[in-house]
Structure 1
Amino acid sequence: MIFRVVLLCLFLLVLEIYTFQVFKTIIKNKSILYSIQIASVAFSIYIVYALMQFDRSVGQTQKTMFTMALLLLVYLPKIIFTIVLLGEDLYRLGVGTLNYFSNYDESKDFFNSRRKFVSQIGLGLAAVPFLSLIYGITVGKYNYKVIKQRIFFPDLPDAFDGFTITQISDVHSGSFDNPDKIQHAIDLINAQNSDLILFTGDIVNTHAKEMHPWIETFNKIDKHEYGKFSVLGNHDYGEYVTWKTEQEKEENFEDIKKLYGQIGFNLLLNEHTFIKKGNDQIALVGVENWGHNFKQAGDLDKASGSLQKQDFKILMSHDPSHWNKVVQHDKRHFQLTLSGHTHGMQFGIEIPGYFKWSLVQYVYEQWAGLYENVGRYVYVNRGFGFHAYPGRVGIMPEITVIELKKAPNVA
């Protein structure tokens, strides 16, 4: 433990030294230079203090999200400064060594002086994530996007050709701080006029009480002709805090399950129901959370009951690793799975229809948008809310509208 603390302190000290070097090379006014350094150290002290005060019995709060935002804003630029100047130092070391063993000029210092333009490059590079994070906090986290996806199925019942589904996921109501923005999102949901609405879990961060200020707002979601259904997400189980007693945890879990009903959604707990239209029907299957690295309460066999391969099935399963590890290989052939969970890490680069990238893709093979394997599809919603970092950069909050279409049978 002591060794780790020492390593962390050395790492932070190196970041501070290189950060100071960047500004020292560019800024000649000592008052400004030392003011920046004092502010930098003060922010670092606050961040360390706030992290040490984290209470696992409470979990995430507005204060912890502020601390996370500040940590990213302060340390991402410092890491970039360090990488750039460390690269320059390695170059200076190489040049000095070469000069020493070849045509050594005693009039020259072994290390050349720092070049101003290198520090300017470091400053410019660091400005990109810094300004992006500021944008994510002030604008991005409520920059809702309606993403429409049309999917073709040869075995779709005729009556459901053109049937529309709105999907929301990962609300994380305990993170919200702007009622007007949330109301705007609810208005966007209603404006889609879909036949059915599905909510694929994570209504809170941890505690049921987080949703209480928002129940009235979410109750404004229209009823939808074919219903409103939901499943649980990993955060709905209260797994990420320390509870005084197991009973307290269980009571919170029961209250969270009730929340879905309080906003008009029918919660499916390892069970299925049928959506009927005309003379046709499709099965809507809902499992509890099943995650490769998270709680595995989902029971696909129990939820499916007597459903057969020929039945057209839509599965709601919060974590897309369930589809990756289990569902896509299931012999019952689940035509469409709807998931969320990843948030697209709330940070990445996305050019719709052309390119998308996020660090989360190195953890989840299916992390945002539509994926297919032998006629089995999974759609991963990018999330409605935000968690930990109070913002979104590049990967915007999403309201999904899926249209089911009948594909022609190919002889």
Structure 2
Amino acid sequence: MRWIIRLVILLAVIFLLEFYAFQALKTVSKSKVLKYLWIFISLAAYLNFFYVAITYDRGQGQTPQFQMAMGIMLTVLIPKIVILLILFGEDIYRWIAKAISALSPGETQPLPSRRKFIAQLALGIAAIPFAGFIYGIIQGKYNYKVLKYQLTFTDLPEAFDGYTITQISDIHSGSFTNKEKIQYGVDLINQQKSDLMLFTGDIVNNKADEMDNWIAVFDKLEAKEGKYSILGNHDYGDYMDWKNPQDKIDNFQAVKDIHKKIGFDLLLDDHRYLEKDGQKIALLGVENWGKGFNQAGDLERAAKGVNKDDFKILMTHDPSHWEYKVKEDPFHYHLTLSGHTHGLQMGIEIPGWLKWSPSQFVYKQWAGLYEEAGKFINVNRGFGYHAFPGRVGIWPEITVIELKKA
């Protein structure tokens, strides 16, 4: 019954958006060909999505075909939100004018007609996200950005002054379709020539075999002093239907085995000491812990055997773990590395001026570097993509962090 209610609400929203968008088109153009083309494209996008959503095999998880159907529908749908907001605002003005006329002496004036200029403005502004979504699906998801930070700590061991870390996150290999573009991203990671490489979870969407065609690409990742990784929420296989419980258990083990195949040391509520010139720092990695998600991670278990005064780097996939548990922990984790949010793969970022995404309404720390009371967290925007097969304004990220001693 619940899904029927959701479907009715979705159809009502689509109808409202299409009604207003078509009003804008009618005001601007009298061409029947353009109107029929508009209706055809919209219907094709919606019918394609609903057909794929109904017929695709839940046992395969979100396939690239499902994601593309989702992407096409969003590309058609979201720009019409802009049209709705502008024309609805004009409707408020029109009805206020009508009410004033009805309350004034003399003959009541009819409801003012839509102004062509407003409709043109609405269509023009809506064209911006429409073009952005098309770019995001074709090229934006491969628009890799290298973001570099230099972090200073008073208690960093001197031997690690200038030590560099490359962080990648959220590979989501089950979404990939273009080997040449992915190889370019891997080469860009290696060009950073960092001392350490850390991967913060979600190597697949659901199934271990999604990585089969990509192991030969990702096993070429290089770091001077080691590669370490953790699991993300998608690595547990929780978002698809399994024929029996044992299949899910076997898949989970196969996902964990992938990390060894590509040369990463997978930390499952565990830690390693990194040594340099007789000095050391602690690297900890926990299983997934997220607010509203799988909470398998055990921070105390990972820290067992670590000294409170050690300099500590923590890998935890979901940044809500830092917000609700880690930052208040008396053990003092100097630097936490997370991913998970993808910055919702859409938003607006203008360095030094604007940083916005719907993701910020869910996560307090959703993309980039944050600091509280001398403790840092970096939320990597992700290497891959999921659900929506593109990126609009929130580009795939390779993070390079240099540690400095104050």
Q: Distance in 1 between matches of 2:125 and 2:370?
A: 34
Is 1:194 the counterpart of 2:194? The answer is yes
Q: Distance in 2 between matches of 1:372 and 1:255?
A: 36
Q: Distance in 2 between matches of 1:200 and 1:206?
A: 16
Shift of residue 5, structure 1, vs aligned partner: 4.5
In the alignment, what sits opposite 1:265?
264
In the alignment, what sits opposite 2:215?
215
In the alignment, what sits opposite 1:29?
31
Q: Distance in 2 between matches of 1:226 and 1:340?
A: 22
User: 1:156-175 CA distances to partner (integer Å, 9 max, x unpaired)?
Assistant: 11111111111110000111
Q: Distance in 2 between matches of 1:211 and 1:200?
A: 16
Structure 2, unpaired ranges of 5+: none
Shift of residue 3, structure 1, vs aligned partner: 5.3
Q: Distance in 2 between matches of 1:174 and 1:272?
A: 29
Look up the SS of the partner of 2:119 in the other structure: helix
In the alignment, what sits opposite 1:306?
305
Is 1:178 the counterpart of 2:175? The answer is no
Shift of residue 44, structure 1, vs aligned partner: 2.4
In the alignment, what sits opposite 1:90?
92
The verdict on how the C-alpha distance between 1:189 and 1:31 changes in structure 2, with shifts beyond 3 A counting, is: closer
In the alignment, what sits opposite 1:78?
80
Shift of residue 232, structure 1, vs aligned partner: 0.5
Which is further off, 38-47 or 255-264? 38-47
1:38-117 mapped onto 2 (5 Å cutoff): 38-105=40-107, 108=109, 110-117=110-117
In the alignment, what sits opposite 2:159?
159
1:10-409 mapped onto 2 (5 Å cutoff): 10-105=12-107, 108=109, 110-222=110-222, 224-407=223-406
Q: What TM-score does the superposition give when structure 1 sets the normalisation length?
A: 0.94
The verdict on how the C-alpha distance between 1:378 and 1:3 changes in structure 2, with shifts beyond 3 A counting, is: closer
The verdict on how the C-alpha distance between 1:139 and 1:5 changes in structure 2, with shifts beyond 3 A counting, is: closer
Q: Distance in 1 between matches of 2:391 and 2:151?
A: 27
Shift of residue 7, structure 1, vs aligned partner: 4.3
Q: Distance in 2 between matches of 1:17 and 1:362?
A: 28
Say what the alpha-carbon RMSD is for the aligned residues.
1.6
User: 1:72-122 CA distances to partner (integer Å, 9 max, x unpaired)?
Assistant: 11111223222222222222111112112203435x4x2122211111111
User: Letter of the aligned partner of 1:188 in structure 2?
Assistant: L
Shift of residue 283, structure 1, vs aligned partner: 0.9
User: 1:175-201 CA distances to partner (integer Å, 9 max, x unpaired)?
Assistant: 111111111111111111111111111
Q: Distance in 1 between matches of 2:359 and 2:304?
A: 34
User: Letter of the aligned partner of 1:68 in structure 2?
Assistant: M
Aligned pairs, number: 404
Q: Distance in 2 between matches of 1:139 and 1:113?
A: 41
User: Letter of the aligned partner of 1:206 in structure 2?
Assistant: N
Shift of residue 335, structure 1, vs aligned partner: 1.0
User: Letter of the aligned partner of 2:49 in structure 1?
Assistant: I
Shift of residue 16, structure 1, vs aligned partner: 2.6
Runs of 4+ in 1 over 6 A off after TM superposition: none
Structure 1, unpaired ranges of 5+: none
Q: Distance in 2 between matches of 1:150 and 1:273?
A: 23
The verdict on how the C-alpha distance between 1:157 and 1:4 changes in structure 2, with shifts beyond 3 A counting, is: closer
Look up the SS of the partner of 2:96 in the other structure: helix
User: Letter of the aligned partner of 1:155 in structure 2?
Assistant: D
User: Letter of the aligned partner of 2:203 in structure 1?
Assistant: I
Which is further off, 6-15 or 122-131? 6-15
User: Letter of the aligned partner of 1:178 in structure 2?
Assistant: N
Look up the SS of the partner of 2:15 in the other structure: helix
Q: Distance in 2 between matches of 1:7 and 1:323?
A: 35
Identity %: 54
Look up the SS of the partner of 2:171 in the other structure: coil
Q: Distance in 2 between matches of 1:221 and 1:38?
A: 46
The verdict on how the C-alpha distance between 1:104 and 1:137 changes in structure 2, with shifts beyond 3 A counting, is: farther
